[in-house]
Structure 1
């Protein structure tokens, strides 16, 4: 599991200039999820949020249809995404725990995101929307999820 450079989130340009996978994996996962939900490959996807227990860091947002998930790794089984996440954080932070909650707010709305201590799309060094669109388009959608239209 990759861990970001300490303090990089405080430097807008340095944060922006990271590779896509790191940018969307450590600080802009909510933007990637929000863009994905604007035009998912099939219906049935929704956002989920890993909310760490009090006193811990490690929040993460991703999209899923309950079985398949999508985040900065691309497509994976939801269970594998969660197992990898738990394993990584528990190996680094003794006693780490979290709950997974369904997202019930717009993922690209700045005020809603700021209320949850996340940046809105207009608060990054550059525009993360087209960057997320390109990232999503570059990931191969599993054949059983392809659009039929």
Structure 2
């Protein structure tokens, strides 16, 4: 989780010029999740929205197969990702809390479909300064394919790459 300086999210040029990790942490995490699901449909991952309780900020979308999670950090266990997000949220906003909401893949790239989830509003890839999907695909290529839980433990999968 990152906190941007005021005004960056509302300035398309400044937002686009963020580093890859910050760009995919602060407002384009859902595009990265979509690129992951598109690239690895056979691995059983699903998008998950961390939805802050009313009155708080700190939304995030990641993908998980129930044990392993992937977001701008790379691979790690789902519980570690959630614990990190909750710890940061509570550090920056006392009383912060949230819920986990599964999302269908098509919601990740549709503003209209995202708005059918109470409190969710996601930009489409083309609603950034440039199409964000090619950028997400390129960032995703920095990481290995998802670990196969039956053959390769997460600890050997380049956890925290990127």
Give the alignment's TM-score, normalised by structure 2: 0.83
Q: What is aligned with 1:3?
A: 3
Q: What is aligned with 2:160?
A: none
Q: 1:136 aligns with which of 121, 127, 140?
A: 140
CA distance in 1 between partners of 2:115 and 2:134 (Å): 21
Deviation at 1:92, TM superposition (A): 0.8
Give the secondary-structure state (helix, strand or coil) at the position aligned to 2:24.
helix
Listed as ranges, the gaps of 5+ residues in structure 2 are 150-162
CA distance in 2 between partners of 1:144 and 1:36 (Å): 15
Deviation at 1:110, TM superposition (A): 3.4
| Matched-pair contact (CA < 8 Å) for 1:12–1:124 | yes
Deviation at 1:143, TM superposition (A): 4.7
CA distance in 2 between partners of 1:15 and 1:89 (Å): 22
CA distance in 2 between partners of 1:42 and 1:76 (Å): 19
Give the alignment's TM-score, normalised by structure 1: 0.89
| Matched-pair contact (CA < 8 Å) for 2:111–2:121 | no
Q: Please say which of residues 15-24 and 98-107 is displaced more in the overlay.
A: 98-107
CA distance in 2 between partners of 1:10 and 1:130 (Å): 21
CA distance in 2 between partners of 1:142 and 1:135 (Å): 14
Tell me the matched-pair count.
Answer: 145
| Matched-pair contact (CA < 8 Å) for 1:110–1:122 | no
The alpha-carbon distance between structure 1 residues 120 and 113, as it changes in their structure 2 partners (threshold 3 A), is farther
CA distance in 2 between partners of 1:95 and 1:110 (Å): 29
Q: What is aligned with 2:114?
A: 113
